[in-house]
A and B are shown apart, each in its own frame.
Chain A
Amino acid sequence: MILRNFRRVLYPYNTDIINSTTISFSEKRCCGDTTPYAKKGL
């Protein structure tokens, strides 16, 4: 649905772009664990 929205937005702008737009999710390079650093502190 979101991709469709993005394509709709671009539709009047450039039809070549619409047909080739990708929106994706990546789990790589996500970190939220502060424990090792908080423990190491001072």
Chain B
Amino acid sequence: MVDVLIIGSGGAGLSAALAAKEAGASVLVVGKMYPTNSQTSMAQGGMNAALGNVEEDHVSLHIADTIKSAHGLCDEDMVRHMCADAPQTIAWLETLGMPFSRIEASHSDANHNSSLLTPHSSLKSVAQRQLGGASAKRACYAQDYTGLKLLHTLYDTCLKEGIAFLDEHFLLELIVSGDTVKGAVVLDIRSGEIKQIDAKSVIIATGGYGGIYHGYTTNMYGVSGDGIAAVLRAGGAVSDMEFVQFHPTGLKHSAILMSESARGEGGYLVNSKQERFVDELKPRDEVARAIFEELQKGEEVFLDLRHLGEEKLMTLLPQEVALCKLHEGVDPISELVSIKPVTHYTMGGIDVDYALEVNGIKGCFAVGECANAKVHGANRLGGNSLLEITAFGRFVGENAYKHAVYASSKPADNSVQHACQKKIERLFEQEAPIDFYTHRQALGRLFYENVGIIRDEVGLTQALEEVVATQVALKKMGIRDRSKTNNQNLVEFLEFENALMLAPTIISAALARKESRGAHYRSDYPQSDDAHFKKHIILQWKDKQ
């Protein structure tokens, strides 16, 4: 039995692993892919911390910007916790060797607020850039590879610390006895074996549910809300599921992310007439809606980086240039880049308390995009996601260890493992006349069109009806590859099941919220209604399956 089992090996899971290990816990990290391939690797723009290296800044301004962007649905204490921890989090990453981009140290001296910082002198030279919705140049970055370099830094440190990993293991179910977590059952993708892992504390760090918008998201296909669905099945609560952030600048054909840093460094958004139509540095929800309205008028929308010049682009945004050339066949140094808003981040997720413990399941914690720690509210501020996974990752690692110290070491029986075994065997036996890949594609399009940037009662109700139909049809779907080992068809079907399970929670909450707030915009209720809806919407299955 391990002290702390971490499910998910992205930035949040690795930060938690390091903190739990440092506290004295035995730690096991389980992931369905390899750590360096997680969604964190795709984060580009930066990580917010009010260091004041480039211009005047203060933690209180970071808090104010975050609360403003959340449109009334954040928890002030949690926001204060995250923002106040930010400078120390950057300092911690410095000690691990995170290769932040740098500025001339002398440039920072005039603006620096030394009272905020630990005595790491190198912290003064960390470069910071402007992101949308921020009142200062606050995002610390590593070119436009911030997430990737963060991930490499954390993973290198985990290996150095001897933390154990089980890669390519897919979460099937959490094991809960009474109201307390006892471990998890996972599928070893490589061997096909169903394994039970006993643990005193479990941390879910499995990422969001943006993959439901299949084909219309910057997320990879595997971001299917596996951990959120498992928590829901196990009796935990989910909240604010209707809040899905659309990033203004996905590449038009591939939906690959063009980082906000492209606009932060001075890029323009222009329509077919080459006219600017919105302040590019407004919060993401406002910019995404402005672009969507231009597209509705029949205009094409472009990201214009040409005026920044080759030297600046290749120094600060080399990945953007490479992605444009590789996936769209355009060179942003000399050409306009055609873009559209696409799903980027899900603010809702597993409902957690102040210790990031799941409401409804003791000893089970959640962190990162899969969790709703109530720091993003109705709209996440750019640069706060990498901060959240790192700052709260460390916090949750410590909390999970504290729980493990007093938790029972009596393992659970193997009834959940048996049930999972039977389910997988059934999948191998049953016929699958309906191809689920077609339905996965259709679900993505349905969500983009009906549960997208602009929503209304008619479209949401229609989406609900179509989800019903898909769930009915699910009985005739399944796997066609009968291989026991390395069966990607099986993994993708299980992911589709999870996404389909979460689909009605998103639609039901979006229907229930008869107002517009942050990323949730209802054309039939275009105004905010604080009197009725300055509230979190919480969904829970009281009786477990």
Contacts and interface: CB of A to CB of B under 8 A. Distances in A.
Interface stretch (B5-13, B55-63, B478-486): B55-63
Nearest to B472: A12
Interface string B524-538: 000000100111111
A37 B67 contact: yes
B101 interface: no
Contacts of B349: none
B72 A30 contact: yes
A10 B504 contact: yes
B268 to A, nearest CB: 28
B64 A9 contact: no
Interface in A18-42: 19-34, 37-38, 40-42
A9 B504 contact: yes
B114 interface: no
Nearest to A22: B540
A5 B63 CA distance: 38
A22 B542 contact: yes
Chain A binding surface, main DSSP class: mixed
A11 B465 CA distance: 12
B468 A37 contact: no
Nearest to A40: B60
B471 interface: yes
Given A9-B504, A29-B75, A37 B61 contact: yes
B64 A34 contact: yes
B296 interface: no
B445 interface: no
A19 B542 CA distance: 9
A6 B504 contact: yes
A39 B533 CA distance: 27
Contacts of A11: 468
Interface centre among B461, B530, B539 (most CB of A within 10 A): B539
B67 A33 contact: yes
A21 B539 CA distance: 7
A3 B520 CA distance: 19
B67 to A, nearest CB: 5
A22 B535 contact: no
A5 B468 CA distance: 10
Interface stretch (B41-49, B278-286, B505-513): B505-513
Contacts of A29: 74-75, 78, 374, 536
B474 interface: yes
A23 B75 contact: no
Interface string B58-94: 1011011101101111111011000000000000000
Nearest to B67: A34
A42 B52 CA distance: 10
B76 to A, nearest CB: 4
A39 to B, nearest CB: 8
A26 B67 contact: no
B537 A23 contact: yes
B508 A5 contact: yes
A41 B58 CA distance: 6
A12 B541 contact: no
A32 B374 contact: no
Contacts of A28: 536
Contacts of B72: 30-32
A25 B535 contact: yes
B467 interface: yes
A12 to B, nearest CB: 5
Contacts of A13: 471, 474, 501
B534 A9 contact: no
Contact of A20 (B56, B64, B464, B541): B541
Contacts of B537: 23-25
Nearest to A3: B508
Contacts of A5: 461, 464, 504, 507-508, 511
Given A9-B504, A17-B541, A37-B64, 17 more contacts: A5-B464, A5-B508, A6-B539, A9-B503, A10-B471, A12-B471, A24-B538, A25-B537, A30-B74, A31-B72, A31-B79, A32-B67, A32-B530, A38-B60, A41-B58, A41-B64, A42-B61
24 contacts: A3-B508, A9-B508, A14-B545, A17-B545, A21-B542, A23-B537, A25-B535, A25-B536, A25-B537, A30-B534, A30-B535, A31-B70, A31-B72, A31-B74, A31-B75, A31-B79, A32-B67, A32-B71, A32-B530, A34-B63, A34-B68, A40-B58, A41-B58, A41-B64
In the A-B complex, the 3 residue pairs with the closest CB atoms: A32-B72, A37-B64, A9-B504
